[in-house]
Amino acid sequence: MSQPDDADPEAAPTPAAYDDLLERYGRATYLGDANAVLSWDQEVMMPEGGTPARSKQRGAVSAVAHDVLVDDETAELLEELERADLPAPKAAAVREIRREHERNARVPTDLVEEISTATSEAHPVWQEAKETDDFDAFAPTLERLLDLKRRYAGHVAPDADPYATLFADYEPCLDLSTAEDVLEELREGLVPLIEAIGESGAEPYALDGTFPESDQLAVTREALETLGYDFERGRLDTAPHPFSTGTQFDARVTTRFDESEPLDSLASTIHEFGHANYTLGLPRGAYGSPLGEHRGLSVHESQSRLFENHVGRSEPFWALFVDRFNDHHGTDLTERQAYEAANRVYDDNLVRVEADELTYHLHIVLRFEIERDLVAGDLDVAEVPAVWNDRMEEYLGVRPEADAEGCLQDIHWSHGSFGYFPTYSLGSVLAAQLYAAAEADLDDLEGQIAAGEFDALREWLAENVHEHGRRYTTDELVEQATGEPLTAEYFLEYAEEKFGELYELDR
Amino acid sequence: MSQPDDADPEAAPTPAAYDDLLERYGRATYLGDANAVLSWDQEVMMPEGGTPARSKQRGAVSAVAHDVLVDDETAELLEELERADLPAPKAAAVREIRREHERNARVPTDLVEEISTATSEAHPVWQEAKETDDFDAFAPTLERLLDLKRRYAGHVAPDADPYATLFADYEPCLDLSTAEDVLEELREGLVPLIEAIGESGAEPYALDGTFPESDQLAVTREALETLGYDFERGRLDTAPHPFSTGTQFDARVTTRFDESEPLDSLASTIHEFGHANYTLGLPRGAYGSPLGEHRGLSVHESQSRLFENHVGRSEPFWALFVDRFNDHHGTDLTERQAYEAANRVYDDNLVRVEADELTYHLHIVLRFEIERDLVAGDLDVAEVPAVWNDRMEEYLGVRPEADAEGCLQDIHWSHGSFGYFPTYSLGSVLAAQLYAAAEADLDDLEGQIAAGEFDALREWLAENVHEHGRRYTTDELVEQATGEPLTAEYFLEYAEEKFGELYELDR
């Protein structure tokens, strides 16, 4: 990573405290990344019986990482460096470490350890509850996690809205009000569009049949290769809930297969590719420093959404990929059929991760409202299934018959991740904004995609997003990359145009 | 785990310091086990590019585990508890923690971290050197690890033989002189036996043909199921060098396949089963305490050897298993043919992990001599290939043509594990002694094996070995389980009888 400010001959020499601070922060980072490996293993490889030991292991690693970040020596180094005249990238690193130090120093180690143990123990409980469609079996766990995270938020910022505090763990550089505004804009723009689609009578092509897992695996692997995923720095595995995790040296992707929905595993894999591609694009030389870490979940999600939707659900992508899809599955789809099938709007779909680009955001609005009320204590855990089902009916006109496809569907709450969901919509919106900027900068991006050339797009993203790590705040990053602040306009414009054409809307 | 001493109403109440000490020790244990997961992942799952980050992660976890064990609070708690009147099991736990504390407190954290990073970085260097048969590429790494481990030994016990200090990391409760005596006894007993076998002219049945990996995988899985491996607390995967790792909640096995040697993968898997079976038999309630940990590598190896050789290479096992083997491989072996093939003595074999029960120990003697001289500084790294090859010729009458099947064959040195090899022979000897004791205690053990009934044997091992964790020293454990001190007599007797019959020796 270039740090031009360091080359300034007039600059004051960097105090030794900077290296000391970075060494300490590095240790905390490595421990955090070790914990991410334990977590990947737990979800992808670990036999069920391993849970009690794994909980202890993750709890211990979290606790020591926390201790390193919060101790007095770290605090003293931060104070010294904040008085120093540092070059801008180093000042940014100090700013980021300060934020994490504050968040952690205010939370007692015991509580950190308890949260880690509780979330580790919660995972199999949630999994079992989902499998047996038994919300009551998960309710006490959810209650415990809410209580722990409320206590956590109370320590971090006693006078703030606890939900805003939790949200900032995932998106530290945008106000919760920005999230609220974006969700509001999306709801206002999308509800009439989805209604119009429902009334259009248009019937885009739909896939039918059975698509064996082994063929889907071959398709998803080929998609990853096509997009340029480096298997020497990653893996593809299956997991109950697809995710991506890792470092710039080893960023892994998981997927899952439904034999009747081969486009779901493909879209999901391309989505996780976008995440892994961001992670792998972080500067390797800055591993262990905030300058080598991602900028927060909204930016992370922008990278996955850009590939999932703007690439993987585009006409040029299907011009490129339809033959490969047909070869593996023995189908005979045309480009247009595949494109239509990949972009059907399902206003009766209950499951977020299977949602289309439009209804997806209403799934997020629903979760956002429920978890905000849960954290505030305005909603009892026991009421969640009923409220969930009522709102699904209100927003999408469809009611889950089982909690397994209702409020038990997502892994997030079992991780204690309250405040995470809004970053999905923020990421979608940013994806559209970044894609528009990339299209303006690059020569015939659509033509490149149709030709299977992804280098220029990936380089543009690397230069404008990945390589900066946490050098800039989210606001600054968005402004630099796109020339304007974060806005939902690009997404809504894109949605109107794409789905207007697909559903023959005259708007 | 029962701790009858605790129930004694006359006993003094346990000081609060005991719980504090165990909590601290627990954290170190969980961190150590977290590191074992990182290591398993590195060898079984991690893409190659992940090495730099994994090295940092493992180094950081080792360092914090070390810090917890050595800090002043741990030292103070130990002193307080050593003055207290503790029930015997708790006194044993304190004794074990004291040993680890001493070993760790004397070694600077920086050196611990450096060793961890160096061993993590060494792994791919060794792997590449082995693949390309290029000892020179590994030599500087070996030199670095020797230097680090010499420095380590110098810190632990400045006046002791550094090799004895390193040996005690793997076998803390037996003197190096015991190892030397056992190796000497084995050499004296085995050299004439192997010679007699070579001269006997007898030709036990040998397998011929190609045995696909998928069939071997099915056989090894069936063997694990037959022996009673609990797949809900374990996994079977492949790795370049088979190993077993984990906790009493999740103990995993790895294997590898050679399409011309289906009995190798089977024996190796049964061997690793023995390790995992020990780990899974450790008391779960004592997880995080020395009472929930294995007694050292000699005892560990006794468990793997007992299953590998005394069960898996026995006549009753093949009476049970030959049909299953034949079914998977489409072969038509008789019990006797399978038994003979599983017990051929290969006096021209170069590779330790493919060695038979007899020549195996000469492979160990060779490594023991070389690494003892390396650590003492009496042998240069550059001389290792020549010395290795000369001694192979001397002991087994065969000379490696490539270092890949000579001094580069084992993973141990790339782990910095000098002093580990002797525990293999100690384990073999103890396996024979334990098997003889179990046979005396149990009703028709051979008949049970032939009938596929392994519960009684596994219970005997659990009661006499596994459940005690580190409650007793190795000496005490052996004496309690078998009624006498460790001796090579049972192994040599067993070897004379078994191979005398197989090779029609008149001795």
Residues A461-498 pLDDT 10s: 999 999 999 999 999 999 999 999 999 999 999 999 99
**Rounded to a whole number, what is the distance in Å from the CA of A473 to chain B's nearest CA?**
25
Q: Which of B31, B60, B284 sits opposite A30 (nearest CB)?
A: B60
Alpha-helix residue ranges (DSSP H) falling in A228-359: 262-281, 297-305, 315-329, 335-342
Residues in B touching A38 (Cβ below 8 Å): 34, 37-38
Report CB contact under 8 Å: A249, B50.
yes
Query: What distance in Å separates the CA atoms of residue A160 and residue A46, rounded to the nearest whole number?
Result: 39
Model confidence at B2: pLDDT above 50: no
Report CB contact under 8 Å: A287, B52.
yes
- The topology under which CATH files domain B176-502 is Neurolysin; domain 3 (1.10.1370)
How sure is the predictor about B412, in pLDDT bands with cuts at 50, 70 and 90? very high
Residues in B touching A234 (Cβ below 8 Å): 47
Which of A439, A454, A449 lies closest to A318 in space, CA to CA?
Answer: A449
Kindly state whether A63 is in contact with chain B, defined as any CB-CB distance less than 8 angstroms.
Answer: yes
Structure confidence at residue B301 (pLDDT)? 97
Helix (H, G, I), strand (E, B) or coil at A282: coil
**Rounded to a whole number, what is the distance in Å from the CA of B254 to chain A's nearest CA?**
13
How sure is the predictor about A10, in pLDDT bands with cuts at 50, 70 and 90? low
Q: Please tell me which residue, A190 or A2, carries the higher pLDDT value.
A: A190
Overall average pLDDT of the A32-49 stretch: 97
Give chain A's mean pLDDT: 94
Model confidence at A8: pLDDT above 80: no
Residues in B touching A52 (Cβ below 8 Å): 249, 284, 287
Helix (H, G, I), strand (E, B) or coil at A483: coil
Report CB contact under 8 Å: A48, B230.
no
Q: How many residues appear in chain A?
A: 507
Overall average pLDDT of the B314-336 stretch: 97
Kindly state whether B47 is in contact with chain A, defined as any CB-CB distance less than 8 angstroms.
Answer: yes
| Dihedral, A295, A296, A301, A303 alpha carbons, nearest 10 | 10
Beta pairing partners, B255: B238
Which of B47, B223, B178, B270 lies closest to A37 in space, CA to CA?
Answer: B47
Kindly state whether B27 is in contact with chain A, defined as any CB-CB distance less than 8 angstroms.
Answer: yes
Residues in B touching A247 (Cβ below 8 Å): 50, 53
Kindly state whether A164 is in contact with chain B, defined as any CB-CB distance less than 8 angstroms.
Answer: no
Query: What strands, in cross-sheet order, belong to the sheet with A236-238?
Result: A236-238, A250-255, A244-247
Model confidence at A4: pLDDT above 50: no
Model confidence at B8: pLDDT above 80: no
How sure is the predictor about A1, in pLDDT bands with cuts at 50, 70 and 90? very low
Kindly state whether B400 is in contact with chain A, defined as any CB-CB distance less than 8 angstroms.
Answer: no
Q: Which of B37, B48, B56 sits opposite A38 (nearest CB)?
A: B37
Report CB contact under 8 Å: B47, A248.
no
- Which of A277-291, A374-388, B180-194, B486-500 shows the lowest mean pLDDT across its residues? B180-194
Contacts 24+ apart (CB under 8 A), B226-230: B226/B320, B226/B321, B226/B324, B226/B452, B226/B454, B227/B270, B227/B273, B227/B277, B227/B307, B227/B311, B227/B454, B228/B277, B228/B454, B228/B455, B228/B458, B229/B253, B229/B273, B229/B276, B229/B277, B230/A49, B230/B280
Kindly state whether A34 is in contact with chain B, defined as any CB-CB distance less than 8 angstroms.
Answer: yes
Residues in B touching A71 (Cβ below 8 Å): none
Model confidence at B507: pLDDT above 90: no
Overall average pLDDT of the B313-339 stretch: 98
Q: Domain spans of chain B?
A: 4-160, 176-502
Overall average pLDDT of the A150-171 stretch: 96
Report CB contact under 8 Å: B287, A45.
no
- pLDDT tens-place string over residues B432-471: 999 999 999 999 999 999 999 999 999 999 999 999 999 9
Placement of tokens 């997961």 in the chain: B37
Structure confidence at residue B354 (pLDDT)? 83
Q: Which of B41, B48, B59 sits opposite A37 (nearest CB)?
A: B41
Task: Output the known binding site of B for Zn(2+).
Answer: 271, 275, 301
- Which of A36-40, A183-187, B180-184, B395-399 shows the lowest mean pLDDT across its residues? B395-399
| Dihedral, B442, B444, B446, B449 alpha carbons, nearest 10 | -70
Query: What distance in Å separates the CA atoms of residue B426 and residue B488, rounded to the nearest whole number?
Result: 8
Query: What distance in Å separates the CA atoms of residue B422 and residue B363, rounded to the nearest whole number?
Result: 10
Structure confidence at residue A396 (pLDDT)? 86
Pairing of strands B236-238, A250-255: unpaired
Structure confidence at residue B65 (pLDDT)? 93
Residues in A touching B249 (Cβ below 8 Å): 49-54
SS (H, E, C) A60-102: HHHHHHHHHHHCHHHHHHHHHHHHCCCCHHHHHHHHHHHHHHH
Model confidence at A3: pLDDT above 70: no
Contact between A289 and A269 (Cβ < 8 Å): no
Q: How many CA atoms lie within 13 A of B430 on its CB side?
A: 31
Q: Count of CB atoms within 10 A of residue B467's CB?
A: 17
Overall average pLDDT of the A10-22 stretch: 85
Model confidence at A2: pLDDT above 70: no
Which of A35, A57, A287 to mutate: most B Cβ within 10 Å? Answer: A57
Kindly state whether A336 is in contact with chain B, defined as any CB-CB distance less than 8 angstroms.
Answer: no
Report CB contact under 8 Å: A60, B34.
yes
Q: Please tell me which residue, B349 or B283, carries the higher pLDDT value.
A: B283
Kindly state whether B250 is in contact with chain A, defined as any CB-CB distance less than 8 angstroms.
Answer: yes
Q: Which of A121, A272, A293, A308 is catalytic?
A: A272
Kindly state whether A247 is in contact with chain B, defined as any CB-CB distance less than 8 angstroms.
Answer: yes
Overall average pLDDT of the A310-315 stretch: 98
Token representation of residue A48: 């069920």
Alpha-helix residue ranges (DSSP H) falling in A171-212: 176-200
Report CB contact under 8 Å: A56, B26.
yes
Placement of tokens 């110098």 in the chain: B154
Q: Is B439 a catalytic residue?
A: no
Angle formed at CA A281 by CA A411 and CA B125, multiple of 5 degrees: 100
